[in-house]
A and B are shown apart, each in its own frame.
Chain A
Amino acid sequence: EVVLTQSPDFQSVTPKDKVTITCRASQSIGSTLHWYQQKPDQSPKLLIKYASQSISGVPSRFSGSGSGTDFTLTINSLEAEDAAVYYCHQSSSFPRTFGQGTKVEIK
């Protein structure tokens, strides 16, 4: 089973800050890593697919990078509406797995 470890678990940030969330896989998964945003009482929403591919309708301040075992989600110029929990997810192998989540709070 591929274990995904996100860091940090929690981040308190100011609007316009740059936010970086990392996701480390326990073994190489190529680029089969996806990022989701979940706001309170909402379903998760796909932000980035296959490590770095953008999603239609997602603001351009969200970007992803990485391959193999180390991946990064970057939020440039954070906005108040970005307060949420962010998850990484791998589709390289079964069982599919998620990171534990990173909560981003707005100061």
Chain B
Amino acid sequence: EVQLVESGGGLVQPGGSLRLSCAVSGFTFSDYSMNWVRQAPGKGLEWVSYISRSSSVTYYADSVKGRFTISRDNGKNSLYLQMNSLRDEDTAVYYCAVDTILEPWGQGTLVTVSS
């Protein structure tokens, strides 16, 4: 069974940092590109970042460029998102999603940025 489990969310003050993780199982992680997508409370979906299978290519949304860093460890079947200089507007549920077609998705982890 394919599973993606995000973790690392929580409450953080503006300007703070968090590192999200996405642990995957049930498929060959190294064969697929990965993405982070977020959803602010009551809002729509926003793509955040992409990483290729070998980590050689990464892309970011303009809203997070220079503050967030995506990475992966194929040996540990894990995807990461290092989030620095967090802002109120980064408050959202963060999902990891597989491949170009974004399927499947994890259950999400909530990040709340507030003082």
Name A's B-contacting residues (CB within 8 A): 34, 36, 38, 43-46, 49-50, 55, 85, 87, 89, 91, 94-101
Interface residues of B in 77-115 (CB under 8 A from A): 95, 97, 100-108
Q: If the complex has contacts A95-B59, A95-B61, A96-B50, are A49 and B45 also in contact, measured as CB distance less than 8 A? A: no
Name B's A-contacting residues (CB within 8 A): 35, 44-47, 50, 59-62, 95, 97, 100-108
Q: Tell me whether B45 and A44 are in contact (CB under 8 A).
A: yes
Q: Tell me whether B106 and A101 are in contact (CB under 8 A).
A: no
Q: Tell me whether B44 and A36 are in contact (CB under 8 A).
A: no
Q: Tell me whether A43 and B106 are in contact (CB under 8 A).
A: yes
Q: If the complex has contacts A43-B95, A95-B62, are A49 and B44 also in contact, measured as CB distance less than 8 A? A: no
- In order of increasing CB-CB distance, the 7 nearest A-B pairs are A46-B103, A96-B47, A43-B105, A94-B59, A98-B45, A101-B44, A91-B100
